[in-house]
Structure 1
């Protein structure tokens, strides 16, 4: 699996600078590309080592896809769903475990208490990572994540809420069919029962995909709010917790 590790400009891991808290950033269904690389750079600039994994490395010849037409074009949609199926949660969590093992020995990176964040399907993966690596993930953010609390799905991540030790943030697009009001209520109930520290915030008027700059539904105001919330979460948990 190829991984892009972003550090703040000027940070010298080998020169004795303090280790940076690690954040794993899971991309959306269109994978690693200029928009997600820029987002990882921006997050790293806040004082983190940001690992952006290519979770679709099992199907290297499947893309690229056009976000404007991938879900409406039948042939592209079939190919895209095939790519996503191979990047299922079981596979990606195994990849994440290997990633953490590799970075445990990396100079300048603190992997003891990490963050996770993601977009669309990556938002679901960030939530799953919080339940899978409860002893490592201290903070996780899901931005317009889908299928977070599906009642008839035995693998729905809300059913592992009791394994979560992290503080969680969920940014939910208004009228998002992949995270309906019923899903949000089910998610909140599971997190309340497990006594998880969390926040679910609705973004009125924003559409699924609002935070990613190359999406047709990109919403600058909503995207900037998501950056504010992400910065607050990781600063409060990863930086304060390390002090």
Structure 2
């Protein structure tokens, strides 16, 4: 299937968010998928991921969550990001991450993105899916709780800090979630240790949420991101299979 990729602007309460849009080139509406970035932001690798989902028959939006500071890219990245040697990059990303992770700001942004889906002729009527990576997994889960009537499925991969002791931890919104959830946890991930995985499972089970959580053995935080040194090809292939199974069950293309 031929895919078209373009840049779009989305009005928000705080300005205009630039975003990458990928969709089948057939002039027909398709189920929508909101793809949330990791900390490194909107870049060629995330665009290629959006294209792959669009090839399966979906209209995919990847917003620049750092739009308050400018259009993407805001930080110059190498072709291969060495996670162990990127202190300077993280120093630049630090000020951008705060607003993106703020629950109130994230909920406002999600509302704007969902409004764009609702108004686009490229998107079928009805709920959409969301998938997120690292930071994006945190936001995808938060969006499912903040907008339960709009999110039918969430794929969350190597997410961090999903079930902390903080009063705004996303696992505390489990009772509002109506979507089916899938979690692909990296077992070498200090940001999502076993106690948080257990706390997340307990919250979802108690709330009666439909979900599946799997531990990707030997995988580190960021294992799906092929432009970083944490990339794991086996884990990435497994992630694609799980994501497409989830989307097909809830949003058949």
TM-score normalised per structure 1: 0.90
Q: 2:115 aligns with which of 92, 101, 104?
A: 101
Task: Pick the aligned partner of 1:92 from 96, 101, 106.
Answer: 106
**Alignment partner, residue 66 of structure 2:** 56
Aligned residue in 1 for 2:159: 145
Structure 1 contact 211–222 (Cα < 8 Å) conserved? yes
Structure 1 residues 84-233: aligned runs within 5 Å: 84-88=97-101, 89-150=103-164, 152-233=165-246
Aligned-partner Cα distance in 2 for 1:205–1:104 = 40
CA distance in 1, matches of 2:180, 2:142: 13
Name the SS of the counterpart of 1:229 in structure 2: helix
Match of 1:7 in 2: 23
Report the alpha carbon displacement of residue 6 of structure 1 after superposing the two structures with TM.
Answer: 0.7
Unmatched segments (≥5 aa) in structure 2: 1-16
Aligned mates of 1:179, 1:148 — CA distance in 2: 7
Distance 1:124 1:71, change over 3 A: farther
CA distance in 1, matches of 2:100, 2:76: 16
Relative to its length, the structure with more strand (as a share) is 2
Is the Cα–Cα contact under 8 Å of residues 159 and 190 in structure 1 kept in the other structure?
Answer: yes
Return the alpha-carbon distance in structure 2 between the equivalents of residues 103 and 166 of structure 1. Answer: 17
| Distance across 1 between alignment mates of 2:175 and 2:85 | 34
Question: Is the CA contact (8 Å cut-off) linking 2:75 and 2:89 kept in structure 1?
Answer: no
The structural deviation recorded for 1:222 is 0.7
Which of 228, 235, 238 aligns to 2:248? It is: 235
Count of residues in correspondence between the two structures: 232
Task: Tell me if the contact between 1:141 and 1:169 (Cα under 8 Å) persists in the aligned partners.
Answer: yes
Structure 1 residue runs of 4+, over 6 Å off? none
> Contact 1:71–1:77 at 8 Å: present in 2 too?
no
Contact 2:83–2:230 at 8 Å: present in 1 too? no
Deviations 1:186-205 (A, max 9, x none): 00000000000001100001
Q: Quick one: distance in 1 between partners of 2:89 and 2:23? A: 34
Q: Check the 8 A contact 1:70/1:76 in 2, yes or no.
A: no
Counterpart secondary structure, 2:69: coil
Could you tell me which residue of structure 2 aligns to residue 16 of structure 1?
none
CA RMSD of aligned residues (A): 1.7
Q: Equivalent residue of 2:120, what SS? A: coil
Report the Cα distance in structure 1 between the residues aligned to 2:183 and 2:210, rounded to whole angstroms.
Answer: 12
Question: Which 10-residue stretch deviates more, 82-91 or 167-176?
Answer: 82-91
